[in-house]
Amino acid sequence: MPLPDWFLSAEERGNPDSSIPTWSTANTVEALIHGKGYFARLAQAVETLSDGDHLFFTDWRGDPDELTSDDGPTVARLFADAARRGVIVKGLLWRSHWDKLAYSEEENRSLGDEIRAAGGEILLDQRVRRGGSHHQKLVVLRHPGSPEKDVAFAGGIDLCHSRRDDENHLGDRQALAMASAYGKTPPWHDVQLALRGPVVGALDLTFRERWNDRTPLDQHGPISTAMDKLKHADLHASELPRQPPDPPPAGTLNVQTLRTYPSMRPPYSFAKEGEQSIARGYTKAIKRARRLIYLEDQYLWSAEVADLFARALRANPELHLIAVVPRHPDVDGKFALPPNEVGREIAVSVCTSAAPDRVHIFDLENTEGTPIYVHAKVCVIDDVWCSVGSDNFNRRSWTHDSELSNAILDETRDERAPQDPAGLGDGARQFARELRLTLMAEHVGADADLIDPLDAVRAMTAAAGRLRAWHDGGRTGERPPGHLMPHRTEHMPWRRRLWAVPAYRVVYDPDGRSWRDRIRGRW
């Protein structure tokens, strides 16, 4: 399988200011589905670090008291204890907006204070566009004396409340407040990757590029800078230790690390015109889709993003699109809710207008009937190419915030029929197929033939239909297995759309591209 058919070339990545490798070969990757498994694995890996090892992390939100298991330690204690052992602990947390606006400024600051007191160094990073955020979720653990132990964790799971759920989807007992439909402990579905091999070097470099950028941390005015000084925030990054050589080969997976950085002024030193390799990577892969695009996404917004799927559906009459999304936005309120709803309505309409009988949108609920909030960001195309990251399928994630994703192509073929579902000669690959089957099987909740794309569409549609019929019939008899429900989008009245659409496009789903790229309509 020629990797350039699926992966971006160095030129296609479009960012000559970064020295990140075009892609990395000979890696192993494990999909950690659900926060409980991820936090447990993270704690286990951090506790093996010793004097002189490296712990680097980036995050959108970090809650210092979030437990890594039912009996601890907390995230703050886990990282602080590592620093006390002599581990070099460095972190980049988004500076965030006020807690009064349902954000996490104080939590991020508190996590940084606790780790800093133990000898680590945490920076509150506001080098973003107006209204933007640092959304990457990355932990890199390096062992300079034993590189075969190196591991990185990257994906959709923040180091914060609500994320530590499991396959039962009863929620994290340390929960964030969300829309009332999700209850006091919102059920949560998410995915993080554990990566070993040379790709760890690429992810280490991703952290180092941000850390070493000499642009001032606070870009948004003298008041916030003065507040940081009053609270004794660290405003200057110290020098990092020399980057170790890449870890040795570890497996059969090729991984392309993709990022989003906006075009901004002053510019990032490592992305002077921004970087949209996530958008470009998806665009290239979607064009090769022939039978099945399987998505799990928090938003599925943006006409521009949905148009990529619509074009693929029109060009390939056997192609189906399955998307698993949240039933409701994470917020309530007459002003916050409509812009969230209209974004989804627009995207689904664009897709269904292209192929109404081949677009299948589902949401999830637990066995108690509480909706499960889908926070995962997963895409699997024809059981060949797949991606897991922090990025959602919307314009904000593809252009405006900082994001991180890893696209994977396995060298090992999956010999189960159909061996080449797309018919392009690439053949199904073990990692991509197993990721899709594992996620689908949990959602369906019963034995089903899911390997063939069309069988998978039928099985998921049937499972969702049975659960919908059970609800419509008054919930009599035994509840059908699984979590799947058909997703319903309601058409918004025109009076509400008059203000919701502009608010959605400007505030909720802004465009971080340069004016040149916007005018030319390119990522």
Yes or no: say if 294 and 460 are a contact pair by the CB < 8 Å rule.
no
Which of the 8 DSSP states describes residue 131?
Answer: T
pLDDT at position 101 is 45
Q: What is the DSSP string of 212-247?
A: H--S-SB-S-HHHHHHHHHTT---SPPPPPPPPPPP
The SS3 assignment for 403 reads strand
140 Rama class: left (phi>0) / alpha (psi -120 to 50) / beta:
beta
Q: Cβ of 278: how many Cβ atoms within 10 Å?
A: 26
Yes or no: say if 81 and 117 are a contact pair by the CB < 8 Å rule.
no
pLDDT at position 501 is 92
pLDDT at position 111 is 86
- State the alpha helices, DSSP H only, in 100-170: 105-117
- Sequence-ordered list of residues with C-beta below 8 angstroms from that of 510, at least 6 positions apart, any chain: 129, 131, 132, 395, 396, 399, 400
Yes or no: say if 213 and 268 are a contact pair by the CB < 8 Å rule.
yes
How many angstroms separate the CA atoms of 512 and 274, rounded?
9
Q: What is the DSSP string of 288-329?
A: T-SSEEEEE-S----HHHHHHHHHHHHH-TT-EEEEE--SS-
Give the pLDDT confidence of 10-36 residue by residue, as tens digits: 999 999 999 999 999 999 999 999 999
Strand partners, 409: 254, 385
pLDDT beneath 50, residues of the chain: 97-104
Yes or no: say if 382 and 425 are a contact pair by the CB < 8 Å rule.
no
The two tokens of residue 430 are 């073990």
Give the pLDDT confidence of 255-274 residue by residue, as tens digits: 999 999 999 989 999 999 99
Domains of the chain: 27-252 (3.30.870.10), 275-518 (3.30.870.10)
pLDDT at position 332 is 87
pLDDT at position 416 is 97
The SS3 assignment for 104 reads coil
Yes or no: say if 41 and 87 are a contact pair by the CB < 8 Å rule.
no
The SS3 assignment for 152 reads strand
- Sequence-ordered list of residues with C-beta below 8 angstroms from that of 135, at least 6 positions apart, any chain: 60, 94, 390, 391, 397, 401, 402, 403
pLDDT at position 487 is 97
- Sequence-ordered list of residues with C-beta below 8 angstroms from that of 335, at least 6 positions apart, any chain: none
